Amino acid sequence: MTSAIGMNELLAAALDAAMSSGASYADVRGVEIRAESLGVKGPAVESLERFDSLGFGVRALVDGAWGYACSAELDAAEAVSTARVAVEIARASATVMTAPIELVPEPVHRDSWMGPTEHDPFAVTLEDKLELLTSATAGMQVSPKIRTTRATMDLLSQTTWFVSSEGSSIDQSFVQSAAGIEAVAVDGSEVQQRSYPGSFRGHFASGGYEVIAEMDLVANAEQTAEEAVALLTAPLCPQTVTSVVLDGHQTMLQVHESVGHPTELDRVLGMEAAFAGTSFVGIPDLGSLRYGSEVVNINSDATISGGLGSYGYDDEGVAAQRVDLVKGGILVGFQTSRETAAKIGAQRSNGTMRAEGWENFPLIRMPNVNLLPGSGSFEDLLADVDDGIYMATNKSWSIDDKRLNFQFGCEVAWEIKHGKLRRMLKDPRYTGITPVFWGYCDAIAGPEEWKVWGTPNCGKGQPGQTMRVGHGTSPARFRNVSTGVSS
Amino acid sequence: MSSGEPPLSVEAARRAAQAVLDTPGADGVEVLVSASAAGVTRFANSQIIQNIARKEVRAYVRVAVGDRVASAGTNQLDAEHMGSAATRALEAVRATRGDADWPGFARPDKDGRAEPVGRWDAATAAASPARRAEAVSQILRASDSNNAAGIYETSSYAFGVFSSAGIDCFDAYTRCAIACLVDNGESTGWGDSSSHAMGEVDVEAAAHRAAEKAEASKSPHSAAPGTYEVVLEPAATGAIIEYLSYAGFGAKQVLEHESFLARHTGEEVGAPSVSILDDVWHPQSVGIGFDFEGVPRKRVAVIERGRATGPVSDLRTARQMGVEATGHGSGSNELGPFAANVVLEAGDKSLEELIGGVSRGFLVTRFHYVNILDRPATLLTGMTRDGTFAVTDGAITGAVHNFRFAQNVLSALASVQGVGRDLVSLAPEYGGFGSTVAPALHLGEFDFVSTTSH
């Protein structure tokens, strides 16, 4: 473990070296990560892995162009050497430049920030964690048709130190915890899966072991497995156009892919064109594009508690903010950085630049992009559906390079008849065009149904970076949705 | 900035491992060491936007006591941090439970001694930021566009596995990759190239191809979704077989009944012209000669002349299946064995001949955001992008808007009408480990289920 003083001295040495080598601006970020991952399959421990990482990265602006270099060798000489490499890279970048990079101003911050944690998950014994997970997998053994049961737990502690040539000096730390269970049922060639509380390793949130305790994995094990078995004989989700209600987990994915990414200003400006793609949204659309119906209100908010995108400052030292992206169905904002904000004449970045670890250059990444709650309960959403489909728990996703044409799939669905859930349906999928789909959103459940979900695997950038992002959602209802689309 | 040497020497990797191979209280210890030095220059709007040098090392210490196993990792290779990792792994071992399927660590006398593949190019490893910037300048000049985007990458990687059971192997490779997208305001085009050696990557040809595709893609019309013949260019073929591999080439997926191989091994699943292997020894593959357990990486035919022949395995799944491990351990029991060097063997037709064989269909340059809809059924979805063209009676007749596909891959492979003779090495989409080698394909049936407005 490195003390904050030692890291601060290292960062100062790198910052001085970058500036004395010719940078007009530089920032240096040190990151220490402690991670633990447990996986249980049936009664057996499938994986028990721990990983610690510590290093720093230097971002230098020279002649209007960026350079970035990083190292895990933590001594003053390496700090100086790494900073000089960043400057050398920036000078090379400046040889292929059409317009120099400008940064919008940001106040100088000297601060410490710590995410709330009630119960340190690393202080819980491994024995207790494994006991919880194996109890959950045991609870899923409800039928001989259950072929595989899994329970996972992922814990992360991260501390970041940030200094900039403008005088900012920030340290912040947070803990994130996650767990989930999964049952796979098999009958002949039919394979079906159910997960709880969400798919792809469960539910992720900022916070300590209290996040995991609240899930009550064991109490939910039996129903999870029973639903997997029931899916084996459920009829196929029909190919039709109908009313669809999405649960909070799938609404999270819907927000992530069709609102979060298209409103990242780097995508809008073409900076991700060759890899992740661009956006159907353009700068002139701000304030006028009808993104969805009047009930659709979406913000980007790093200031809420409990999200994977909850922080005090982003990775270029901009204070966390809450920004409206879609208000009353109209596009009103983008997620920005200091560089991209300058390109559209904004006065300030709204603080969404983050990097995976110390190894990577910060990019615009969603903090917590939230669909704001409407009113009423989940049952109220169903009540106004005479004939429709309720889909739950994301299973698959794909969307085009402009974030228009999407096809998403869920683990399970139920028919809605006369306002009530009826038969279970397997392999539910739906497709749509982003603003058309959101235009048919006519109801969003209220605050009592609203929850901040987390997705830990958002990919972007080259080299690829995986970011943890949050989404507050409640179940939502959409009309005229094409379902059951498949080959 | 770089001497052209691997990002970590074999001596340094072995020294780090040796610090913990005799950890008291452990019955056995295995250390996987990896290191990389990545130089990636990204450009967009025809200027460099991000430019990085990323060097990192990692060591994973796996400790066994009887049949209990756990691992801990660090990115600091000094003896203190390595010892701390071993201690944390040992703590975890004591907390964990016995593993009835634990196969033990690899042993050279039983599992063989690995040889390096040696895909190393010193010039690529030594490429400076200035050299990468010059390459981007070349790309931009060749693209003749004020709106080109992409990357130029020169990176090097090293891997070593060392164990108390006598495993001692090390290999390193380099990679040079270019990707170029040209946007002319109305349409986009794509070109790419990848090899372990920068001298084999023709940046200008890739940029020209992107510009030509963008020009040819102007004034696209909408075509009705449906089932059509298609010609997939190598990048599109590569995406399909990468996801097929991810969906079911591993023995763990077979054992858990989630792979198509669980039900179809021994059966005809593709046309006789289709052979898909995992083969790091193919001259266009980029990778290392052993897996993350130190087992020599074997050439494995997964589909041979249309017949499903079997999965790739690691020590655990090989033991469970009663077969010899093929050397495809991923380092993760949860993921299981993984085919990192998929090769679809070449046929005998040029791209022009493949297009010439199409009665009514489409030419696809590449796909975007492919994902699995149904793993056992090999059902994938994704979008076309950067150049989709209508083909009638063997001739390209114009550009079309992009399609979404939803396709059972085995059905597509069963409908293969022709296989291209030119193989292309493709870098992993997310910059990961390994490579894919693919030709163009003429498929008799491919399901496009919707379209979009661009």
A93–B369: do the CB atoms touch at under 8 Å?
A: no
Q: B62 pairs with which residues across the strands?
A: B30, B71
* Sign of the alpha-carbon dihedral angle for A439, A445, A447, A453: negative
Whole-angstrom Cα distance, residue A28 to residue A316? Answer: 9
Q: How far is CA B354 from the centre of its chain?
A: 25
Residue A93: which CATH number?
3.30.2290.10
A2 touches chain B (CB under 8 A): no
Contacts with B, A 83-102, CB within 8 Å: 85-86, 88-93, 95-99
Indicate if A350 and A465 belong to the same structural domain.
Answer: yes
Chain B residue with minimum CA distance to A465: B430
Give the largest CA-CA distance in chain A.
72
Buried b (16+ CB within 10 A) or exposed e, A265-288: bbbbbbbbbbbbbbbbbeeebbee
Cβ atoms of B339 and B327 within 8 Å: the answer is no
- List, as ranges, residues 13-42 from A with C-beta within 8 Å of B: 39
CB-count burial class (<10 Å; 0-12, 13-18, 19+) for A35: middle
Distance of CA B413 to the CA centre of its chain: 20
> Of A195, A211, A232, which one is at a domain's C-terminal end?
A232
Task: Please state, in angstroms and rounded to a whole number, the distance separating the CA atoms of residues A275 and A345.
Answer: 26
Is A317 found in the same domain as A207?
no
Helix H segments across B249-296?
251-255, 261-264
Q: Of B88, B133, B385, which is closest to A401 when you measure between CB atoms?
A: B385
B373 close to A (CB below 8 A)? yes
Helix (H, G, I), strand (E, B), or coil: what is residue A250? helix
CB atoms within 10 A of CB A380: 17
Residues A332, A322 contacting (CB under 8 angstroms): no
Q: Residue B101: which pLDDT band, with cuts at 50, 70 and 90? A: very high
Q: Is A128 in CB contact (< 8 Å) with chain B?
A: no
Report chain B residues whose CB lies below 8 A from the CB of A85. 1, 53
Residue B405: which pLDDT band, with cuts at 50, 70 and 90? very high
Q: With beta carbons under 8 A apart, name residues in chain B contacting A186.
A: 257
Residue ranges with strand state E in A215-308: 240-246, 298-301
Domain ranges of chain B: 10-175, 220-451
Angle at the Cα of A417 from the Cα atoms of A413 and A418, rounded to 5 degrees:
140
First to last CA, chain B: 43
Of the three residues A232, A256, A274, the one that is the final residue of a domain is A232
Inter-CA distances, A450 with A109, A238, A385, A410, B119, Å: 33, 29, 21, 19, 52
CA angle A409, A239, B225 (to 5 degrees): 90
- Of A200, A35, A155, A47, nearest to B336 by C-alpha is A47
Residues of B whose CB is below 8 A from A51 = 58, 60, 72-74
Query: Between β-strands A298-301 and A322-327, what pairing exists: parallel, antiparallel or unpaired?
Result: antiparallel
Contact flag A96-B76 (C-beta cutoff 8 Å):
no
What DSSP character marks residue B293?
T
Q: Are residues A336 and A450 in the same domain?
A: yes
Reference B439, options B427, B453, B454, B425; nearest CA is: B425
Q: Give bridge partners of residue A192 from the DSSP assignment.
A: A185
User: Which chain B residues in 186-205 lie under 8 Å from chain A, judged by CB atoms?
Assistant: 188
Task: Select from A89, A158, A257, A271 the residue whose CB has the most chain B CBs within 10 Å, as the one to mutate to test that interface.
Answer: A89
Spatial contact of B237 and B439, defined as CB atoms under 8 Å apart:
yes
pLDDT in tens, B325-350: 999 999 998 999 999 999 999 999 99
User: Would the CB atoms of A402 and B454 count as touching at under 8 Å?
Assistant: yes
| pLDDT tens for each residue of B352-404 | 999 999 999 999 999 999 999 999 999 999 999 999 999 999 999 999 999 99
Does one domain contain both A186 and A312?
no
pLDDT beneath 70, residues of chain A: 1-5, 485-487
CB atoms within 10 A of CB B199: 10
Q: How confident is the model at residue B2 (pLDDT cuts 50, 70, 90)?
A: low
- DSSP calls for B383-427: EEEEEEEEEETTEEEEEB--EEEEEEHHHHHHTEEEEBS--EEE-
Q: What is the mean pLDDT of chain B?
A: 96
Alpha-carbon torsion B276, B282, B286, B290, what sign? positive
What's the confidence (pLDDT) of residue A309? 98
Same domain, A215 and A249: no
Report in angstroms the alpha-carbon separations of A72 from A287, B23, B167, B384, B416: 45, 25, 27, 40, 49
Query: What are the two backbone dihedrals, phi and then psi, of residue A272, each rounded to the nearest 5 degrees?
Result: -110, 15
Q: Which two tokens stand for residue B144?
A: 């003749």
The Cα A56–Cα A7 span in angstroms is 9
> What is the span of the domain harbouring residue A104?
4-232
Tell me the chain B residues in contact with residue A130 when contact means C-beta distances shorter than 8 Å. Answer: 95-97
A-B contacts (CB, under 8 Å): 254
Domain boundary pick from A178, A204, A232: A232
Residue B453 pLDDT grade (very low, low, confident, very high; cuts 50, 70, 90) = confident
Is B132's Cβ below 8 Å from some Cβ in A? yes
pLDDT value at B26 more than 70: yes
Residue B428: predicted pLDDT = 86
Token couple for A120: 């340190």
Nearest residue in B to A271, CA atom: B44
Nearest to A274 among B88, B132, B150 (CB): B150
Contact A72 B57 (CB under 8 A): yes
Task: Check whether residue A217 and residue A342 sit in a common domain.
Answer: no
Which of B421, B401, B398 is CA-nearest to residue B352? B421
Among A54, A65, A92, whose Cβ lies nearest the Cβ of B75?
A54
The matching CATH number, chosen from 3.30.2290.10, 3.10.50.40, 3.20.20.70, 2.102.10.10, for B10-175 is 3.30.2290.10
Q: Which helix (H) or strand (E) holds A112?
A: strand A110-114
**Residues 6+ away with beta carbon under 8 Å from B71:** A48, A49, A50, B60, B61, B62, B63, B89, B92
Closest CA–CA distance from residue B157 to any residue of chain A (Å): 14
Residue-wise pLDDT for B68-93, tens only, equals 999 999 999 999 999 999 999 999 99
Closest-CA residue of B relative to A404 is: B452
| B432 lies within 8 A of chain A by CB | yes
- Could you identify the residue written with the tokens 């009958």? A187
- Those residues whose C-beta lies under 8 Å from the C-beta of residue B454, and which sit 6 or more positions away, are A402, A404, B220, B401, B402
pLDDT of residue A4: 47
Number of domains observed in the structure of chain A:
2
Contact B129 A65 (CB under 8 A): no
Q: Collect all residues of chain A within an 8 Å Cβ-Cβ radius of residue B49.
A: 66, 271
Measured CA to CA, the distance from residue A370 to residue A69 in angstroms comes to 34
Residues 258-317 of A with CB under 8 A from B: 269-275, 277
Chain-chain contact of A52 with B85 (C-beta, under 8 angstroms) = yes
Q: Does B87 touch chain A (CB under 8 A)?
A: no
Letter for the amino acid at B352?
E
The first and second tokens of residue A353, run together, are: 């630049």
Q: B3, B50, B243, B317: which to substitute to probe chain A, counting the most A Cβ within 10 Å?
A: B50
Residues in chain B: 454
Q: Which of A259, A208, A251 has the alpha carbon at shortest distance from A451?
A: A251
Which residues share a beta bridge with B28? Answer: B64
Q: Among residues 138-157 of chain B, which lie with CB inside 8 Å of chain A?
A: 140, 146-147, 149-151, 153
Closest-CA distance, B348 to chain A, in angstroms, reads: 30
Q: Of chain A residues 340-379, which have a CB less than 8 A from chain B? A: 359-361
Instruction: Tell me whether residues A398 and B258 touch, CB distance under 8 A.
Output: no
Copy the structure tokens of residue A335.
């997620």
Distance separating the N- and C-terminal Cα atoms of chain A = 53
Structure confidence by residue, pLDDT tens digits, B29-62: 999 999 999 999 999 999 999 999 999 999 999 9
Residues of B in contact with A344 (CB under 8 A): none
Looking at the fold, whether A161 and A266 belong to one and the same domain comes out as: no
Closest residue in chain B to residue A397, using alpha carbons only: B371
For tokens 């996986």, the residue is A39
Mutate to test the interface with B, among A31, A56, A258, A400 (most CBs of B within 10 A): A400
CB contact under 8 A, A464 and B97: no
> CB A50 to CB B73 under 8 A?
yes
Give rounded-to-5 percent helix, strand, coil for chain A: 25, 40, 35
Taking the Cβ of residue A407 and every Cβ of chain B, the question of whether any pair is shorter than 8 Å is answered with yes
DSSP letter at A448 equals G
Distance, in Å, from the CA atom of B432 to the CA atom of B434, rounded to the nearest integer, reads 7
- Strands A405-417 and A429-433 turn out to be antiparallel
Query: Could you report the predicted ipTM of this complex, rounded to two decimals?
Result: 0.95
Same domain, A369 and A349: yes
The alpha-carbon gap from A105 to the nearest alpha carbon of chain B, in Å, equals: 20
Q: Which residues of A touch B406 (CB under 8 A)?
A: 407, 485-487
Task: Read off the DSSP letter of residue A285.
Answer: G
Residue closest to B323 by CA, chosen among B272, B247, B265: B265
Q: Give the residue on A whose Cα is nearest the Cα of B35.
A: A72
